[in-house]
Amino acid sequence: MLAVMQTKPALIAAAAACILAMAALPAYSVLPDIYPPPSQASNDIAAALKSAAATHKRVILDFGGNWCADCHVLDSYFHDAANRPLLESNYVLVHVNIGHRDANLDIAARYQIPLAKGVPAIAVLDARGKLLYSQKTGEFEAMRFMQSGAVTDFLRNWKRPAA
């Protein structure tokens, strides 16, 4: 009984130490929602095409989900200091929410995005909605291991040629 009584304070002290150690760790915030509700996708694409036609830009469809860490990395690269001007002057960006790979599957198929290869996945459209490019092999699926320059190269490669 004496051994149990001596062990109990040690266990309490160890538990307190663990709690204090966890409190000292940096807090991880929840990632913001960058993908709107899946039901908005068709309307968002239609609005983007209208805007692209009026401003002579191309449309980027970014297929992914708010749960996808690589999707958040891609979005941060789209909006970093090197890429934001290139994106905003040449493209209208549409985030297409695929839910948990159970939403907007028809839209992904229409733009030849094989979701089984991973997300984020990108399609590029001209201002009339013609598909110019779609990622077929999960090129950005491991975005967390890529650099912002890969997005820069992509944006430069698919921007509308100068008139």
pLDDT (tens digit, 9 = 90+) per residue, 81-138? 999 999 999 999 999 999 999 999 999 999 999 999 999 999 999 999 999 999 999 8
- Whether 43 maps to a domain, the answer reads yes
Classify residue 51: in a domain, yes or no.
yes
The pLDDT of residue 11 is 52
pLDDT at 27 over 50: no
Q: What is the pTM of this model?
A: 0.81
Confidence at residue 31, expressed as pLDDT on a 0 to 100 scale: 80
Percent of the chain beyond pLDDT 90?
75
Asked, for residue 60, whether it belongs to a domain, the answer is: yes
What's the pLDDT score for residue 161? Answer: 85
Domain membership flag for residue 44: yes
Q: Please report which residue ranges of the chain form alpha helices under DSSP H.
A: 2-24, 41-55, 69-78, 84-90, 105-110, 148-158
* pLDDT at position 63: 98
Tell me if 29 is assigned to some domain.
no
User: What per-residue confidence (pLDDT) applies to 7?
Assistant: 64
128 Cβ contact partners less than 8 Å away, ≥ 6 residues apart = 49, 53
Least confident range of 18-27, 56-65, 82-91, 100-109: 18-27
The boundaries of the domain holding residue 121 are: 38-158
25 assigned to some structural domain: no
Domain count along the chain: 1
Question: What percentage of the chain's residues is helix, strand, coil (to nearest 5)?
Answer: 50, 15, 35
Mean pLDDT calculated for residue range 41-62: 98
Q: What is the CATH number of the domain that holds 67?
A: 3.40.30.10
Answer yes or no: is 127 within a domain: yes
